[in-house]
């Protein structure tokens, strides 16, 4: 028998010795984080912080659906955290607010910021795209790319006010359970949050706040030749060793509108931790945070796709997709036919609306997923005329962020399309925006005349300039205009800011009246201002009645528009072809409003070019 060569012996030893590399390694191939893995990732963050001489550091680890699996602090005094975008010198909106000074936050400020970063990275990433909080900051700003004059707002302009702690949809509580879980500060645009992967599957994320004084802000410099030296980003990304995404799916391998996105400025500054699986952090302490983490030790997360995660395979008409299991406080997501009368959406209609919309997604070319040629993965939601959720379904690998955002989109579209919009906004303290809108449109009945608004149309009048991106033009009537910043956007923030409602975990609605009393005006989880939401109408006896709204989210903004818009049209055609036998004489399927009902001068829908896979169709949104 011949002896093996020396290279072969070395290779065999490397394969047989899993601890040969100096970094954490996965405990198994299951798509969830185990407590051992959480301990190891936290220890890596502690080790890097110590080597960087950081006196105060907070690290948060979440699973994919937002459960906090670990919250750990170094230093006797928690970091002071100031929200700052660099655009305003005075305190306006949330800009320049010191979180520690708020009575409902106090010393929990760094914990809240770290959790928000982790949740954002987890919710914006999937098996086919890895987005960091730097990515989020790059696509939510006034211009895209940031600071480039006379360019429209970012693809997710306004999304930072989703996943709000005060909302009625996001789940709350310290126990590990179904998602999506609330974020204590909404979606974060501050570097220092990264997704975590095992065997190519997205399993969670890490968020870091470091230093005695931390800025919870946004990177305003888009020039890749001037990279940040962001301490929080260096610590967080270094701590992902052993759980990093493939380079091919990172945001800096993905384009939007021909512009490459940002993922990190710290690749060349990373440190290599020495911790291995089995390491337990001891230099600091686990810290509790009410409604998020009990504070005893690292925990094991839930596996996305199983019922206990809150997202599981659907059955019946929606087989092949995922559905939101029925659970408190939404025991029944579908209405009964009897309770809806002749106008309301029935369960059958809701299911067909969802199926047709997701079917459109599976033939739509994705903007953000890699490799190229993948279909768009989205969540679709249908609400009734009052904003109550009637149904939600998703493709298997859709972003978790989209579960809450689609509800915001659908509710926003139906809210502004009803003739009660002006009165309800005034009740919630938004009377000045109503007046601005009426002046802008030159109509005293604006927001009272029942004109149909899509979320794209609403977003266009919520921009610092109208038309969007043209510097020097007047502000949109729902925006702050000259006082705009990512933390002082206008109506979207002001609706949920009074009495710091945006930061409160216990309410079931984010809106309050002028006396700070919680009110349900149909925007219980806030509004949103980016595309993909459309009102639904029914025609009866020659008149149009608004009966709800549909939305899609999880890919590019134009893709969201296309999928929800065409999905509604295809559902209308399918329902018209086979109406319920008992209602054939009077039945009228749900539909889009005609162009005469939409708001003149505002774009209602925008579809991407050549949007479909294996099809030459150019403009599927035309003619409806």
Which is nearest to 377 in space by CA: 357, 397, 360? 397
Residue located via tokens 């003149």: 600
On whether the CB atoms of residues 592 and 568 are closer than 8 A, the answer is yes
The answer to the question of residue 609 being in a domain is no
Mean pLDDT of the region 312-325: 88
For position 522, which CATH number holds?
A: 3.30.450.150
Work out the burial of residue 224: count CB atoms within 10 Å of its CB; fewer than 13 is exposed, 13-18 middle, 19 or more buried.
Answer: exposed
Which of 323-332, 542-551, 554-563, 582-591 has the lowest average pLDDT? 323-332
Q: Please give the structure tokens belonging to residue 408.
A: 């915001």
Work out the burial of residue 86: count CB atoms within 10 Å of its CB; fewer than 13 is exposed, 13-18 middle, 19 or more buried.
Answer: middle
Mean pLDDT of the region 51-55: 94
The answer to the question of residue 4 being in a domain is no
User: SS3 for 213?
Assistant: strand
Domain boundary among 244, 266, 283: 283
Tell me the torsion sign for CA atoms 33, 34, 36, 39.
Answer: positive
**Is 70 exceeded by the pLDDT of residue 452?**
yes
Same domain, yes or no: 272 and 384? no
Same domain, yes or no: 345 and 385? yes
Q: Please give the structure tokens belonging to residue 35.
A: 């407590």
Domain boundary among 283, 298, 332: 283
**Is 50 exceeded by the pLDDT of residue 15?**
no
pLDDT of residue 325: 60
CB-side neighbour CA atoms (13 Å) of 427 = 14
Domain boundary among 283, 306, 325: 283
Mean pLDDT of the region 500-517: 89
On whether the CB atoms of residues 535 and 414 are closer than 8 A, the answer is yes
Mean pLDDT of the region 302-311: 94
pLDDT of residue 529: 94
Question: Residue 195 is inside which H or E element, if any?
Answer: strand 193-198
Same domain, yes or no: 327 and 249? no
**Is 80 exceeded by the pLDDT of residue 307?**
yes
The answer to the question of residue 251 being in a domain is yes
pTM (two decimals): 0.94
CA–CA separation, 509 vs 528, rounded Å? 15
Same domain, yes or no: 279 and 319? no
The answer to the question of residue 70 being in a domain is yes
Q: What does each C-alpha distance from 351 to 326, 333, 344, 385, 587 come to in angstroms?
A: 15, 11, 14, 17, 17
Same domain, yes or no: 239 and 366? no
pLDDT of residue 341: 61
On whether the CB atoms of residues 490 and 528 are closer than 8 A, the answer is no
Binned at pLDDT 50, 70 and 90, residue 136 comes out as very high
87-91, 137-141, 168-172, 298-302 — most confident range: 298-302
**Is 80 exceeded by the pLDDT of residue 290?**
yes
pLDDT of residue 593: 96
In which domain, by residue range, is 264 found? 22-140+187-283
pLDDT of residue 342: 67
pLDDT of residue 587: 83
Q: Please give the structure tokens belonging to residue 151.
A: 């360019």
Mean pLDDT of the region 99-107: 95
Binned at pLDDT 50, 70 and 90, residue 223 comes out as confident
Same domain, yes or no: 274 and 406? no
The answer to the question of residue 127 being in a domain is yes
The answer to the question of residue 36 being in a domain is yes
- Tell me how far the alpha carbon of residue 344 is from its chain's centroid: 29
Give how many domains the chain has, as a whole number.
2
The predicted-structure confidence for 320-344, as pLDDT tens digits, reads as follows: 999 876 544 444 445 544 445 668 8
Torsion of CA 508, 509, 510, 511, to 10 degrees: -150
On whether the CB atoms of residues 65 and 180 are closer than 8 A, the answer is yes
On whether the CB atoms of residues 153 and 142 are closer than 8 A, the answer is yes
| String of DSSP letters for 420-486 | THHHHHHHTT-HHHHHHHHHHHT-TTTTTS--B--HHHHHHTSSSSSSTT-TTSPPPTTB-GGG-BT
Buried residues in 137-163 as b, exposed as e (16+ CB within 10 A):
bbbbbbbbbbeeeebbbbbbbbbbbbb
The predicted-structure confidence for 389-429, as pLDDT tens digits, reads as follows: 999 999 999 999 999 999 999 999 999 999 999 999 999 99
**Is 90 exceeded by the pLDDT of residue 511?**
yes
Same domain, yes or no: 434 and 320? yes
Name the CA radius of gyration of the chain, rounded: 24
Residue located via tokens 């609306």: 353
The predicted-structure confidence for 66-87, as pLDDT tens digits, reads as follows: 999 999 999 989 999 999 998 8
**Is 80 exceeded by the pLDDT of residue 537?**
yes
Binned at pLDDT 50, 70 and 90, residue 19 comes out as very low
Same domain, yes or no: 32 and 102? yes
- Between 405 and 257, the higher pLDDT residue: 405
Distance in angstroms between the alpha carbons of the first and the last residue of the chain: 77
**Is 70 exceeded by the pLDDT of residue 17?**
no
Residue located via tokens 């070319």: 365
Which of 12-26, 64-78, 96-110, 483-497 has the lowest average pLDDT? 12-26
Q: What is the DSSP letter of 55?
A: S
**Is 90 exceeded by the pLDDT of residue 131?**
yes
Using a pLDDT cut of 70, give the percent of the chain over it. Answer: 92
Q: What is the mean pLDDT of the chain?
A: 90
pLDDT of residue 14: 33
Q: Please give the structure tokens belonging to residue 555.
A: 């890919």
The answer to the question of residue 177 being in a domain is no
**Is 50 exceeded by the pLDDT of residue 602?**
yes
Same domain, yes or no: 263 and 346? no
Same domain, yes or no: 52 and 125? yes
User: SS3 for 90?
Assistant: coil
**Is 50 exceeded by the pLDDT of residue 13?**
no
Mean pLDDT of the region 189-202: 97
CA–CA separation, 245 vs 569, rounded Å? 38
**Is 80 exceeded by the pLDDT of residue 273?**
yes
Which of 44-48, 124-128, 147-151 has the lowest average pLDDT? 147-151
Same domain, yes or no: 463 and 403? yes
Same domain, yes or no: 215 and 99? yes
- Between 222 and 298, the higher pLDDT residue: 298
On whether the CB atoms of residues 410 and 531 are closer than 8 A, the answer is no
On whether the CB atoms of residues 266 and 83 are closer than 8 A, the answer is no
The answer to the question of residue 295 being in a domain is no
């Amino acid at each position: 028998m011949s002896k093996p060569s020396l290279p072969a012996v070395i290779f065999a030893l490397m394969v047989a010795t899993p601890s040969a590399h100096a970094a954490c390694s996965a405990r198994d191939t299951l798509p969830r984080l185990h407590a051992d893995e959480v301990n190891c990732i936290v220890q890596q963050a502690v080790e890097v912080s110590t080597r960087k001489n950081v006196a105060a550091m907070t690290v948060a680890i979440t699973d994919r659906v937002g459960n906090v699996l670990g919250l750990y602090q170094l230093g006797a005094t928690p970091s002071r955290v100031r929200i700052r975008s660099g655009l305003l010198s005075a305190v306006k909106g949330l800009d320049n607010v010191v979180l520690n000074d708020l009575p409902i936050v106090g010393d929990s400020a760094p914990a809240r910021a770290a959790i928000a970063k982790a949740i954002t990275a987890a919710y914006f990433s999937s098996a086919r795209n890895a987005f960091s909080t730097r990515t989020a900051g790059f696509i939510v700003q006034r211009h895209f790319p940031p600071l480039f004059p006379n360019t429209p707002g970012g693809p997710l302009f306004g999304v930072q006010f989703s996943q709000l702690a005060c909302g009625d949809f996001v789940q709350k509580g310290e126990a590990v359970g179904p998602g999506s879980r609330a974020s204590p500060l909404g979606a974060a645009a501050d570097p220092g949050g990264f997704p975590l992967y095992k065997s190519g599957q997205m399993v969670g994320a890490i968020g870091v706040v470091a230093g005695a004084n931390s800025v919870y802000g946004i990177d305003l410099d888009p020039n890749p030749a001037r990279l940040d030296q962001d301490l929080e980003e260096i610590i967080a990304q270094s701590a992902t060793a052993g759980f990093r995404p493939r380079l091919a799916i990172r945001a800096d391998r993905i384009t939007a509108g021909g512009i490459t996105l940002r993922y990190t400025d710290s690749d060349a500054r990373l440190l290599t931790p020495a911790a291995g699986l089995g390491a337990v952090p001891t230099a600091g302490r686990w810290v509790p945070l009410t409604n998020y983490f009990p504070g005893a030790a690292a925990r094991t997360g839930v596996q996305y796709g199983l019922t206990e995660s809150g997202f599981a395979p659907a059955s019946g008409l929606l087989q092949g997709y995922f559905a939101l299991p029925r659970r408190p406080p939404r025991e029944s997501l579908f209405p009964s036919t009897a309770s809806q009368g002749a106008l309301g959406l029935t369960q059958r209609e809701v299911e067909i609306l969802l199926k047709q919309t997701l079917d459109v997604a599976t033939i739509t070319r994705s903007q953000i997923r890699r490799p190229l040629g993948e279909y768009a993965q989205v969540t679709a939601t249908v609400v009734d005329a009052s904003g109550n959720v009637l149904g939600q379904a998703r493709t298997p690998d859709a972003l978790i962020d989209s579960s809450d955002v689609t509800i915001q989109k659908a509710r926003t579209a139906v809210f502004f399309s009803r003739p009660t919009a002006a009165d309800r906004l005034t009740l919630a303290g938004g009377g000045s925006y109503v007046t601005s809108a009426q002046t802008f449109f030159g109509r005293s009945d604006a927001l009272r005349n029942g004109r149909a608004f899509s979320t794209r149309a609403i977003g266009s009048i919520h921009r610092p300039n109208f038309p969007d991106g043209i510097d020097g033009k007047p502000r949109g009537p729902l925006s702050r205009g000259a006082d705009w910043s990512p933390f002082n956007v206008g109506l979207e923030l002001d609706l949920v800011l009074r009495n710091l409602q945006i930061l409160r975990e216990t309410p079931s609605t984010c809106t309050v009246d002028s006396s700070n009393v919680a009110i349900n005006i149909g925007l219980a989880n806030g509004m949103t201002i980016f595309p993909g939401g459309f009102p639904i109408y029914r025609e009866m006896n020659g008149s149009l009645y608004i009966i709800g709204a549909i939305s899609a989210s999880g890919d590019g903004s134009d893709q969201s528009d296309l999928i929800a818009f065409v999905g509604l049209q295809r559902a209308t055609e399918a329902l018209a072809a086979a109406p319920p036998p008992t209602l054939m004489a009077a039945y009228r399927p749900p539909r889009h409003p005609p162009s005469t009902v939409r708001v003149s001068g505002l774009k209602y829908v925008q579809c991407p070019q050549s949007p479909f896979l294996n099809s030459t169709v150019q403009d599927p949104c035309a003619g409806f």
